[in-house]
Amino acid sequence: MSDDTFPQTLAAAQQGDEAAFTALFRDAQPMLLRYLRVVAQDDADDIAADTWVQVVRGLRSFKAEEPAAFRAWVLSIGRHRWLDHLRSRRRRHETAMASVPEQAGPVDPVDVVYELMSTEAALDFIRTLPRDQAEVVMLRYVADLDLSRIAELLGKKPGAVRVLSHRGLHRLRAALDAVPDQRHRPATESASEGQPGVAEDPV
């Protein structure tokens, strides 16, 4: 959705135009769902559904001039729903924080880099980051929000968001650098030409 058409689309959705609402949904839902899959994993779908119920409720009073603001609003609601979800799980004496992927499952960066890069594999790779870094990386480089919006969304200072982003990227790069050379050496040279990491390989 372009910045030019967004105000009209939002106004139409607020007036009951289903097509306009669908356009807004399709613009924001992928980012919301991927963000929630990083931070909430298996509960992402349920939380996203709750998020849209709340978005619908507040859509009439929402005002924005650009789609990034709408995405930020939706992500903010989604994050709050996720936190509510965590609190409710804690109340049920579940180890909610243990399920939060501080270090997610055994994702091999080699698979991420040298095998078919799917969206799910990329999200799994980002999920290996500490939660706060993964959040910032997702919001910054996947949802494409600027630092000020992220800071507002997370309730942090822009400097703190910048630090988290820096650390998250550094950690991801370190994970990619740790890929053993022999793992990708058997790969065909033709196949590895498009892979930047392989192109720099002295072998």
Partner 1 sequence: MMITELDPGADPRLAAVFAAASAPAELPLAGELEALTAYRRSHGRSRIAGLLGPRPVHLVVAALCSGVVLAGGVATAATGSMPIVGHLHSAPTPTTRSSGETQNDDATSAGSDRQRTDDETDGANDIGDSGPGTAGHPAADHTLGSVARGAATCTAASHGTCQAGQHGKALAAHTHRRGHAPGAHVHGNGRTHHRTGHRAGSSGLRRSHGTTHHSG
Longest dimension (CA), the chain: 62
How far apart CA 161 and CA 139 sit, in angstroms, is 10
43 secondary structure, DSSP code: G
Q: Looking at 121, 130, 154, 201, which residue binds partner 1 (CB under 8 A)?
A: 121
- Kindly state whether residue 170 participates in binding partner 1, applying the rule CB under 8 A: yes
Do 13 and 48 form a contact (C-beta atoms < 8 A)? no
Distance CA 76, CA 145 (A): 12
Whole-angstrom distance, CA of residue 63 vs CA of residue 172: 36
- Compute the least distance from the CB of residue 100 to partner 1, in Å: 19
Question: Shortest Cβ distance from residue 105 to partner 1 (Å)?
Answer: 17
Residues 51 to 80 in contact with partner 1, rule: CB under 8 A: 52-53, 55-57, 59-60
Q: How far apart are CA 79 and CA 47, in angstroms?
A: 9
Choose between 35 and 92: whose C-beta lies nearer to partner 1: 35
85 forms part of the interface with partner 1 (CB under 8 A): no
Site for partner 1 (CB under 8 A): which residue of 1, 30, 96, 131? 30
Q: According to CB under 8 A, which one of 87, 166, 189, 193 is a site residue for partner 1?
A: 166
Is 130 among the residues that bind partner 1 (CB under 8 A)?
Answer: no
Which range binds partner 1 by CB under 8 A, 76-84, 89-97, 181-189, 195-203? 195-203
- Judged by CB under 8 A, the stretch of 1-9, 90-98, 117-125, 185-193 that binds partner 1 is 117-125
Tokens in use for 143? 């949802």
User: Is residue 91 helix, strand or coil?
Assistant: helix
- 102 in Cβ contact with 179 (< 8 Å): no
Task: Tell the burial category of 194 from Cβ atoms under 10 Å away from its Cβ (0-12, 13-18, 19+).
Answer: exposed
Q: Which residues bind partner 1 (CB under 8 A)?
A: 16, 18, 21-22, 25-26, 29-31, 33-34, 45, 48-49, 52-53, 55-57, 59-60, 112-113, 117-119, 121-123, 125-126, 138, 141-144, 147, 159, 162-163, 165-166, 169-170, 172-173, 176, 195-197
